[in-house]
Amino acid sequence: MSKTRIRTFQQQAYGLRIVTDIPLLELSAPRVSSVGSAVRATLGERAELLRLHPRWFRHSRPPGGKTWLRCGKIPDGYVLSFSDIADFVIDNAGRQVICGNARAGVSLKTIRHLLIDQVLPLVVNLRGSEALHATAVATRRGVCAFTGPAGSGKSTLAASFVLSGYPLVCDDCLALSDGAAIRTLPGYPGLRLWNDSVRALGASSRNLKPVAHYTTKSRLRDYSRRADFCSTSRRLARIYLLQRGRAGKRSAGVLIEELASGEALIGLVKAAYRFDTTDTAMLQRQFHFLSRVAEQVRVKRLVVPDDFSALADVRQAVLHDLSERPAR
């Protein structure tokens, strides 16, 4: 008897080649820029995993909220447990991901979102590369990235660039490669936005898709315009640490200021994806890499008015800053 052939799907994000048992509709087909062995993810079956007893080393929770994510170590890998949603088991090499223990009513759309936007950025770090919590767009002067705390407006600002003709590089996970210059690896063509941002940007409803059952965010992607996404590796020209000004203070304008090397490095360390915080070798590797980023890429503070109507002013200020040559 012939064996049943299991269909698989190949996609790419963050410099990873991803092989899954269901299509990840949000991602792109693999290109030459994908490096190393594939990440194989089993999502469709959402198996009942054996009872796991991880050694929990990390608990993530929003301010004032309950624990949202727990990370734990098991003998041959790790467990990422998303409260009341599902668990993901990852092997030590970051090559195998299995989703299991999905709660009743959790859709595959939510499972895909968790894999793409929460699990894979940590897998990048586990596999020996680095990524920042940052949203980035491509310009003629190179890629500029925006990082900052949740709610600081990274995705909204990037969306305003994209809607003005600047290709998106990534939303919330900026994978980096080292070499003669620090380069960016493409994420995927989509931005996650709150409803007030969607309204302020005037984005068409036909380009919006729900992200997951537990959030009101929508995913913005214009499937008819491939130019809206930068699918190749590019030089990283600037990193902006985004900070919102006080509401109603637009008169203060946009402030861009250079950071001292030490302050820039601290900002990058805060923004880095970090999987196993008990892994000393990883922490040392990451610190040395981020030190090189701070040396090679100009890192600046970007203070913006807490006002959607100022987005055009912010774009112009950033583009002007990108055009300036560093002082000798």
Element at 313 (helix H, strand E): helix 311-323
* Rg (the chain; Cα; Å): 20
What's the confidence (pLDDT) of residue 267?
A: 97
- Residue range 160-214, pLDDT digits in tens: 999 999 999 999 999 999 888 999 999 999 999 999 999 999 888 778 889 998 9
What's the confidence (pLDDT) of residue 252?
A: 61
- Residue range 24-60, pLDDT digits in tens: 988 877 765 555 689 999 998 776 776 778 899 999 8
Q: Evaluate whether 312 touches 160 at the Cβ level (below 8 Å).
A: yes
Residue 72's CB: how many other CB atoms inside 10 A? Answer: 18
What's the confidence (pLDDT) of residue 279?
A: 95
What's the confidence (pLDDT) of residue 193?
A: 94
Tell me the average pLDDT across 286-298: 96
Tokens matching residue 111: 């499972």
Distance, in Å, from the CA atom of 1 to the CA atom of 229, rounded to the nearest integer, reads 46
In angstroms, what CA-CA distances link 32 with 108, 178, 298?
Answer: 28, 17, 28
Band of residue 5 on the pLDDT scale cut at 50, 70, 90: low
CATH number for region 132-323: 3.40.50.300
Tell me the average pLDDT across 96-101: 93
Distance, in Å, from the CA atom of 160 to the CA atom of 137, rounded to the nearest integer, reads 10
Mean pLDDT of the chain: 89
Would the pLDDT of 328 be above 50?
no
- What are the boundaries of each domain within the chain? 9-127, 132-323
List the alpha helices (DSSP H) in 31-153. Answer: 108-114, 120-126
